[in-house]
Homo-oligomer: A and B are copies of this chain.
Amino acid sequence: MINAGIVGGTGYTGVELLRILALHSDVEITAVTSRSDVGMRVDALYPSLRGYLKNLTFCLPSIESLENCDVVFFATPNGTAMLMAKELLERGIKIIDLSADFRLKNVAEWEQWYGMTHTCPDLIAQAVYGLPEIHRDALRNADLIACAGCYPTAVQLGFLPLLEKGCIDLNVIADVKSGVSGAGRKAEIATLMSETGESFKAYAVSGHRHLPEITQGLTAMAKQSVNLTFVPHLTPMIRGIHATLYATLTNEISVEELQNLYETHYANEEFVDVLLFGSHPDTRNVRGSNRCQIALHLPQGGKTLVILSVIDNLVKGAAGQAVQSMNLRFGLPENQGLATVALYP
């Protein structure tokens, strides 16, 4: 049995970890921290979990609270995991960070986009990027896992086979739409239902923090610099990301070859599902599941390839991917606790 701790248990990625881990047959949740709710029963805040967590109460986010854990998940705002990582690692505790603290390899770039000084830049090199479909082997031995962000997961899985194959122009576009849970569980006017319901808008078009993360990944796939235009949008729903990706084909390549490229690449991936050519994946079909569904289109037989890629931002884009990484690290079946069917309708 793996003893797991969750730092930041009151946000949406935290409660999603609880939902998944509560039913994970190899995990015992032993600590859930929340500075503001210390002593409160976790299921008093989240009545959906009544009966699944014994008498677990929120504790302070301290080394003492976590020292008996085998693994600690950080479901915290950016800038928190880096404060505790070293001490936990020294105690032999594995870290799975769902925030962005260890995602970018370039510290200067990280500090510029996140607007703070990185407090343990020396750990960045050893952090393994938690996108199992790309870094599976490294994750099996990683002590510090920097889970991929939600947008980065949908976009990178969508472009991966193409960029490895090297058949597209390296100026690409990602027009991505997210449900509002991606903004987190924070008291803010901008994500009130009265503000976001029944409305649609783009945001952060001039520059979103996931841009350098995605660019880093795409560049590694292509083995040369990729120039990404990334436009995120807020869509009036709670869960789900839909990435609409645009790439210009540089080689003669048939529709059948393209489809075959994707199907072959993801043939052994349980959590990436390539639909028939010309399909339209729908975020509802991955809601609550750890799956990414992908479909290809080549409108009017031109050279602009359109890739559609959908995930649940809280599962494959956060907590599910974190558990998938944990399973790899601890030698468990990769799908342990993750073999669920999306909630439709």
Contact = CB atoms under 8 A, between A and B. Distances in A.
Contacts of A179: 200
A188 interface: yes
Contacts of A211: 300
Interface stretch (A58-66, A80-88, A110-118, A279-287): A279-287
Contacts of A177: 177, 200, 233, 235
* Centre residue among A49, A171, A229, A300 by max chain B CB count within 10 A: A229
Interface residues of A, number: 88
B185 A189 contact: yes
Contact of A304 (B173, B293, B308): B173
A200 B198 CA distance: 13
Contact of A189 (B186, B230, B239, B299): B186
A18 to B, nearest CB: 8
A78 interface: no
A160 interface: no
Interface of A: 12, 15, 19, 22-23, 46-52, 171, 173, 175, 177, 179-181, 183, 185-189, 191-203, 205-207, 211, 227, 229-231, 233, 235-240, 242, 244, 246, 270, 273, 275, 278-289, 293, 297, 299-300, 302, 304, 306, 308, 310, 314, 339-345
